[in-house]
A and B are shown apart, each in its own frame.
Chain A
Amino acid sequence: MTDKYDDRSHDSTSPTDADGHEVKHEGRTLPTLPGGLHDTTTSRTLWGDAWRRLRKNKLAVAGLIWICLIVVMTLSADLWVPPNFGDPLAIDTTPGANLQPPSLEHPFGTDKLGRDVFSRVVYGARVSLTVGLLAVSISLVIGLLLGALSGYYSGFVDGLVMRAADVFFAFPYILFAIALIAVLGPSYRNVFIAIGILGWPSIARVFRSSIFSVKENEYVDAARAMGASDLRIMFRHIMPNAIAPIIVYGTMSIGGAIITEAALSFLGMGVQPPTPSWGLMLSDAKSLMFAAPWLTIWPGFAILTTVLAFVLMGDGMRDALDVKMKD
């Protein structure tokens, strides 16, 4: 495994690299690098190497910077946004205050209730990031638990969990979310609960398969032979090796959750007014698309760049950690 990491230590967009089949052709005739170092013993350098490779990937770094910027902006928003641009919820009924095109005072214009769009976009990031993080956390808790049961005990438990995952995959994603929310009632909280519940099967599958591949290794047998408990084996031996794909998948899932929240709110099955959510803002913008295009452009741009940042980060981490994933 170690030499494979060395093989991949390149920027995936660099055109000078020999990637894929060229290497394979004479792979047989090239000398193998010495040592098949133990995974757990090299985990520190593995993360160090991964970080170095990630840093070389310009797109991933751009994603990371953008995410940090959004987080800082939205966390500090109370300090600088309302005083300069107005409260995101403050309705201004003065004639002429609504539907103002972008100006110095209102960089993204105002909406039909006279609220500052820039302020709402900044605060909308809070909703998106919160939903994204909480939803993925819920998926992780359920997915890791079920994936661990499935991968570790295999047999009947495995069959049961995997069939349950199949059932979840049988539903078209957004419709399942709508059905769930129809029952739970549309609200901020129920949006991330629904997205979280729907996200577990992919996490469980990823985790299960990495457990399977780790379980093949002799050191797990050795640990078991020495009388280590199941929990100990899980945390000491399996988790450290199975964590890379989970991190990659989790990062990408945050982007997915943000887009789903926007879609649900757009359809009226998500965050409810007047909370500033990007999807909700686009839903309001629909009827004013031509009269006030700035209402459409900025919230959508915010969704695109935020989701893209998570996708690029995820891609970069996948390459850096050398995680194999099906598209």
Chain B
Amino acid sequence: MLKYVVRRIFQMIPVFIGVTLILFILRAPGVLPGDPVRMITGERAITEALRLQVIEKHALDQPLHRQYIIYLQNLMRGDLGESYQRGRPVVDIFAEKFPNTLRLALAGIIVEVIIGLTAGIISAVRQYSFLDVLVTLSTSILVSVPVFWLGMLFQIFFGIRLKEWTGGAFYLPISGMSSGEFPDWVHLILPAITLASVSTAYVARIMRSQMLESMGQDYIRTAEAKGLTRRAVTFRHALKNALIPVVTFVGIDFGVMMGGAILTETVFSWPGVGREIFLAVGQRDWPIVMGGVVIIVFLVMIINLLVDLSYALLDPRIRYGGAGE
């Protein structure tokens, strides 16, 4: 187990170097078109003094490898630069928005797990039934829906049409985080479902195929030969094996949701990390955009590592090293 953990951490080193290198190259002079100072300050007129200050701080007049080291040092110190438009460090801006994104991601994961697992299990246990066909078809549709459009449809339907039809008696809040009108959690409903939509479809598909695969394994026949009920065989023997890859997917997806909620947060005006990046894109405030990317990439990397480690906890074959033969 320890060996596995150490190995996984060591495997992250080249990825870390690669990721930082790419992020560095994206603003290195001469590598790509564009002025590196522009990427650091954002697109607006700046004073010559500020320009020189930026060149000095990021060592932009020095050789590339030196710049890279300075870049890494700044990263290590948690210095992701500053939004010159807002006059605040990028890290502070994101620290403020992060809890909102986290809440949305947690709500999204709950939706994804409950609906995705249920649909996948039903679909597998009743293979080829009407319900199975329904699940298979709706997952195909869900992975093809642009999330932002789905969010907009929800807003039109639950926010406006439903209100009209019920004479204002029932509808859901369509934007923002809080209002006097609804408890806070109600504001989460539509964004969470929207955010979870595609992943829910994937969870259902993976769950279904994993269940079918593990129900075809020899150990299922062994369990049946013991005289266990169909139910015990399915939910004890097959499910535990089938869940392992699903848990991995959900874990990785949690990382993605924390960073990738940019579309959902934009549609629902949810004041999180993603919406902040969207606003910065509109203002061409590149330090926030690039800083946001850096934060999210590292977040995702750390979560992926944690998922890998928890995978080891779930699967005894990894926890206790190689096979016995």
Chain A residues at the B interface, C-beta cutoff of 8 Å: 13-15, 17, 19-22, 24-25, 59, 163-164, 166-167, 170-176, 178-180, 182-185, 255, 259, 262-263, 266-269, 279, 282, 285-286, 289-290, 293, 296-297, 299-300, 303-305, 307-308, 311-312, 315, 327
Contact of A267 among B22, B149, B266 (CB under 8 A): B266
Residues A172 and B148 in contact, CB atoms below 8 Å apart: no
Residues B262 and A267 in contact, CB atoms below 8 Å apart: yes
Contacting A at CB under 8 A, from B192-242, are 202, 205-206, 209, 212-213, 215-217, 220-221
**Any A CB within 8 A of the CB of B41:** no
Q: Map CB proximity to A onto B287-301 as digits: 1 under 8 Å, 0 otherwise.
A: 001101100110011
Given contacts A21-B220, A179-B290, A300-B146, 9 further A-B contacts (CB under 8 A): A19-B127, A25-B221, A59-B137, A171-B297, A174-B260, A174-B263, A178-B289, A182-B39, A282-B152
CB-based contact B140/A311 at 8 Å? yes
A178, A266, A304, A308: the one contacting B293 at CB < 8 Å is: A178
Assess whether B173 is interfacial by the CB under 8 Å rule.
no
Pair B140/A312 contact, Cβ less than 8 Å: yes
Q: Complex Cα distance A172/B27, Å?
A: 19
Query: Do residues A182 and B149 form an inter-chain contact, with CB atoms below 8 A?
Result: no
| Given known A-B contacts A182-B281, A282-B149, A327 and B209 have beta carbons under 8 A apart | yes
**Complex: A296 Cα to B155 Cα, angstroms:** 11
User: Are A170 and B289 in contact, CB atoms less than 8 angstroms apart?
Assistant: no
Residue among A183, A282, A296, A311 with the most chain B CB within 10 A? A183
Contacts of B292 in A (CB 8 A): 175
User: By the criterion CB–CB under 8 Å, are B141 and A20 in contact?
Assistant: no
A sample of 22 inter-chain contacts (CB < 8 A) reads A19-B127, A20-B127, A20-B212, A20-B215, A163-B14, A170-B304, A171-B22, A172-B296, A174-B263, A175-B262, A175-B277, A175-B296, A185-B33, A259-B144, A289-B156, A293-B156, A296-B153, A300-B149, A300-B153, A303-B146, A307-B144, A308-B144
B136 CB-CB contact with A under 8 Å: yes
Counting chain B residues whose Cβ lies within 8 A of the other chain, the interface size class is 35 or more
Does chain A have a CB within 8 A of B318? no
A108 vs chain B, min Cβ distance (A): 15
Contact across chains for B155 and A289 when beta carbons are under 8 A apart = yes
State whether A21 and B215 are in contact (beta carbons under 8 Å apart), knowing that A172-B259, A172-B260, A315-B140 are contacts in the complex. yes
Residues in A whose Cβ lies below 8 Å from that of B137: 59
Across-interface contacts of A303 in B (CB, < 8 A):
146, 149
Q: Are A266 and B148 in contact (CB under 8 A)?
A: yes
Asked if B144 and A178 sit within 8 Å, CB to CB, the answer is: no
Chain A residues lying within 8 Å of B15, measured Cβ to Cβ, are 163, 166-167, 170
List the A side residues contacting B206 at CB < 8 Å.
327
Residues of A within 8 A of B202 (CB): 327
Is B4 close to A, CB under 8 A?
Answer: no
A184–B23 alpha-carbon span in the complex (Å): 14
| Given known A24-B216, A179-B290, A300-B153, contact A172–B140 (CB-CB < 8 A) | no
B282 within 8 A of A: yes
Question: Is the CB of B32 closer than 8 A to any CB of chain A?
Answer: yes
* A20 in contact with B213 (CB, 8 Å): yes
A20, B145: Cβ atoms under 8 Å?
A: no
